[in-house]
Amino acid sequence: MAAELSRRTFLQGSSLVVLFSMGAVQPLSAQAPAPLPGSLQTNRRLDAWLRIHPNGTVTMFTGKVELGQGILTALTQIVSDELDVAPERIEVVSGDTARTPNEGVTSGSLSMQDSGTALRMACAEARDLLVQAGATRLGAAPADLTVVDGSIGKTSGGPRVSYWEITSEVSLQREATAKVAPKRTAQHRLIGQSVKRRDIPAKVTGGAAYVQDIRLPGMVHARVVRSAIPHARLVAVDLASVRAMPGVLAVVRDGSFLGVAAQREEQAIAAARALHAKARWEGVGALPPRGAALFPFMKTARSEPTVVVDKASATAPAAATTLTAEYTRPYQAHGSIGPSCAVAQWDGDKLRVWCHSQGVFPLRADMAKALRMPVANIAISHGEGSGCYGHNGADDVAMDAALIAKGLAGVPVRLQWMREDEFASEPLGSPMVMQMRGGLDAAGRIADWQHELWSYTHSTRPNDPDGSNLLAAWQLQQPLPPGPSRNIPQPSGGSDRNAVPLYAFPRQKVINHLLLDQPIRTSALRTLGAYANVFAAESFMDEMAGAAGADPVAFRLAHLEDPRGKAVIERVAQMANWRSTPAADTRDPRTPVRPGTLRGRGMAFSKYKNLAVYCAVVADVAVDTQTGEVRVLQAWSAADAGLVVNPDGLRNQIEGGMVQSTSWTLYESIPYDESQLTGRNWPDYRILRFTELPKVEVALINRPEERPLGVGEGAQGPMVAAIANAFANATGRRLRDLPFTPERVKARLA
């Protein structure tokens, strides 16, 4: 992202909207179009994905966006290999409503499956068309030609012709057929290699890497003012005195929406603080009970139950031993290190926005609805934000910026949320309750498995058909209603994600209770319900193994039929030299082990969404019985994501998931009282510190004959359960309530 963007450059970019806009197109035939793989199904034109330019460059278009997961690097590797061009030639355009295909939201670990598949097939077909054109120019058979960095010719030598010379002879303005096979594994040059990330250099050198770094000519600064009371109504505010403050350009009030713009950032901050002091708010209803009282409240709240799986009528031996257990997870925040930010600029009735939304097209549709304007009059470009992890404040801050900028026609307005805005205003990850019931037969095998859960929604992203899911849209004088609570249907699932067991249990039943009222706004936090469901299911698997007198690894293998699942469990057990207690040499040398410290080892497994990456984890923990502190010393993971495009990127995703899960598991819980969220800054919301990082080792099982599977959310569930199982192994007691705080640990040990 350029640090400076002139008005002329901006206007030139705007003039390209019509020329380069390529969304989904309707086929010319009246017959139903043939299904296409990945995101080609909804964006069927080749030129929606790819442009070959006479100047020797290639432009790759993707609707998926960089969230720190390295996806744009991996997609570049695919394009480079399939087209036979050097990656240095490839320009990447991602997440731009004026230029890229509409691929919805970058979420659910679907980017490689959707966008990667589409680009792979589109590039294979484009290369075939280019080689055919080259064969005609050279008077040779296509089968006799090879391509080296866009240059077509015979291996034996002779004349050559480049892609750049024949661009006028090959039109990509056609519907993809997906009939050209992509390259075989043996032909890959970059796929499977750990190439350098495109996004890293600017991040580590202080360059313009994030949307927060955008600087436009004449840009001014803004802040939004909100109460920490969910669904608060603005009763009164003194605007006049704030308008007279130094540098203030605009004070905006529309219903309960309140914001300010100023020439300089510190002026905007001072004005926002003054507004906050002069504003009076009132709440609508009480917040749910805190602490342990929250979970009985959830089980009696208004809900919509769904039977997800019901094999309870299957014939099975009578259970000789029956176990029950309940597990809980609190409200948790995304904890993005950089608070949300957006830049908005109006040009007459046209709006231009830069933001770090995961879904620029759904956001555009919701903003158009809330602003009562045509969708075509809004253009949104993605700029990376410093941390995402799901539906944080990225969409809301874009709407906030547009509302404040509307009164400053032609002036670009940069709106930066403050840390307290992020904690008080972003959607949170939903609390959850999981009740488990299982029965063992006389042979020590699971004969019955029941998983019942209660959760608020995990999906209130923008563009709900029955309302708006932008916070400011609810606060306007003419508000839009919030979208209703919804569940993402199986097989992906929302609150019931990974509640359906992958193990072969003869009798099983899963019931999901979706809570219909939202006293505190919730939405997608990374993994949605999978983190809590895997915590419950894999902790319960260990409890069942203990009741059966079986080794936890052997017990899982005995109940698993999927050979790829078995392979990751066996691999991680081998990596960790599995035994039921940790070896003496796994102690982290950074952490002296005090007298009274107990050490334990645990393992867990899942296949994310039962559709994506297979991941198994072994964790070693130390439990200080005096302070109640739990420390993860070391963790191993084995992962199978099918075809590995970039091993380093994939490994980073697993490592990051393990670290994030450690933080969630040991520390994270959003504080609130009877009326408002009380978290204001990092002292109020404890996260894992650098000095507390576990030593992590990750092994990848590459299966180049298989399609690539999503990875980014696959390790969090196995990691929490491995930590929980290690705690139980160390202490002989089990913690079933997250997070594992020192107070909770000491109470359990007592």
Tell me if 82 sits within 8 A of 118, measured CB to CB. Answer: no
The pTM assigned to this predicted structure is: 0.92
Distance of CA 414 to the CA centre of its chain: 25
CB atoms within 10 A of CB 419: 17
> Tens digits of per-residue pLDDT, 435-472?
999 999 999 999 999 999 999 999 999 999 999 999 99
Give the residue-averaged pLDDT of 360-366: 98
Entry field: residues in the chain: 750
Going by C-alpha positions, the residue among 668, 692, 653 that lies closest to residue 525 is 668
Residue 319's pLDDT is: 72
Q: Phi and psi (nearest 5°) for 448? A: -150, 140
Amino acid at 466: D
Q: What is the DSSP string of 507-562?
A: SEEEEEEEE---SS-B--BTTTTHHHHHHHHHHHHHHHHHHHT--HHHHHHHT---
> Tens digits of per-residue pLDDT, 120-139?
999 999 999 999 999 999 99
Residue 128's pLDDT is: 97
> Tens digits of per-residue pLDDT, 395-437?
999 999 999 999 999 999 999 999 999 999 999 999 999 999 9
User: Dihedral sign, CA of 623, 627, 633, 636?
Assistant: positive
> Tens digits of per-residue pLDDT, 545-580?
999 999 999 999 999 999 999 999 999 999 999 986
Q: 335 has which bridge partners?
A: none
Structural domain boundaries in the chain: 7-205, 211-284+334-425, 292-331+429-458+494-749
Distance of CA 571 to the CA centre of its chain: 27
Q: State in words which class domain 7-205 has.
A: alpha beta
> Tens digits of per-residue pLDDT, 177-197?
999 999 999 999 999 999 999
Residue 250's pLDDT is: 97
Residue 30's pLDDT is: 54
Top-confidence residue, 26 or 465: 465
Cα-based distances in Å from 282 to 425, 693, 713: 16, 42, 38
Report angle CA 484, 305, 471 to the nearest 5 degrees. 20
CATH topology match: 7-205 vs 211-284+334-425: yes
> Tens digits of per-residue pLDDT, 513-539?
999 999 999 999 999 999 999 999 999
Top-confidence residue, 17 or 491: 491
Give the residue-averaged pLDDT of 238-252: 97
211-284+334-425: CATH topology: Aldehyde Oxidoreductase; domain 4 (3.30.365)
Residue 317 in this model has a pLDDT that exceeds 70:
no
Going by C-alpha positions, the residue among 615, 620, 630 that lies closest to residue 663 is 630
Residue 582's pLDDT is: 59
First-residue to last-residue Cα distance in the chain: 55
Task: Kindly report the average pLDDT of the chain as a whole number.
Answer: 92
Pick the CATH number of 292-331+429-458+494-749 from 3.30.1490.440, 3.50.40.10, 3.30.365.10, 1.20.140.10: 3.30.365.10
Residue 290's pLDDT is: 95
DSSP 56: S
Top-confidence residue, 31 or 711: 711
Phi-psi bin for 206: left (phi > 0), alpha (psi -120 to 50), beta?
A: left
> Tens digits of per-residue pLDDT, 679-696?
999 999 999 999 999 999
Residue 592's pLDDT is: 53
